[in-house]
Amino acid sequence: MSVLKLRIYPDPVLKQKARKITIIDGSVRKLAQDMLDTMYKSDGVGLAAPQVGVSKRIMVIDVSSEEEPAKPIVFINPEILEKDGEMIGQEGCLSFPDVFFEVKRASKVVVRFQNLKGQTLKLTAEGNLLSRAIQHEIDHLDGKLFIEKATNELKRDLEMTKAGLLDGDAEEISKKLGDDEGLTLTVPSKEAVTS
């Protein structure tokens, strides 16, 4: 078991488009296991390789609850084949500690990927954490971050400022948002995806 060092925003590796994996060998299997160890250690539901400094198209997700047995899924070279509908929900990201805000995603996704045995699989997820996590992680592989997809940019900036990831005056942003809204922002919903 190896827990890898998480890359925190604004680490430049997070903005790079990751390279396709051509050979699934022992090093890829070890990377997948280390990524899972790192994700579980940080209480995340998903992790993409750029978040541990590896610019390759591999990501891991486990949306099972604490009471359930672990259900890790390793996605190699994932591609979204279909997207449909929309949903809005809280997201977090292990590369943005303590930052949560609402992001709009497609409700349904159909994704094609390879597993660690090199088999090509297809998975459909709709209206749930898995669907949201798949979209969040594939964005990581393309160098895209959830801060680009906030439904409310002021709320995002407030969260980023409070977390020390953005220079700014949290109080001023709070005022702009309106006092009531500003005060309720620090409590992430239980459903929040941190990935």
Annotated binding-site members for Fe cation: 93, 136, 140
Kindly identify the residues of this chain, within the stretch 176-195, that bind Ni ion according to CB under 5 A.
Answer: 195
**What is d(CA 57, CA 20) in angstroms, rounded to the nearest whole number?**
5
Q: How far is the CB of 4 from Ni ion (least distance, A)?
A: 14
The answer to whether the peptide bond before residue 50 is cis (omega within 30 degrees of 0) is: no
Interface with Ni ion, residue 61, by CB under 5 A: no
- Residue closer to Ni ion (CB basis): 96 or 182: 96
Q: What angle do CA 25, 112, 135 make, to 5 degrees?
A: 105
Closest CA to 193 of 98, 90, 104: 90
Residue 47: half-sphere exposure toward Cβ, Cα within 13 Å: 28
Q: How far is the CB of 25 from Ni ion (least distance, A)?
A: 26
Q: How far is the CB of 45 from Ni ion (least distance, A)?
A: 10
Active-site choice (79, 86, 102, 137): 137
Catalytic residue status for 137: yes
**What is d(CA 155, CA 47) in angstroms, rounded to the nearest whole number?**
24
How many residues of this chain interact with Ni ion, rule: CB under 5 A?
Answer: 2
Tokens 């220079």 correspond to 167
Residues 87-116 as x/- pattern, contact with Ni ion by CB under 5 A: ------x-----------------------
Residues lying near Ni ion in the complex (CB under 5 A) are found at 93, 195
Catalytic residues, by residue number, are: 137
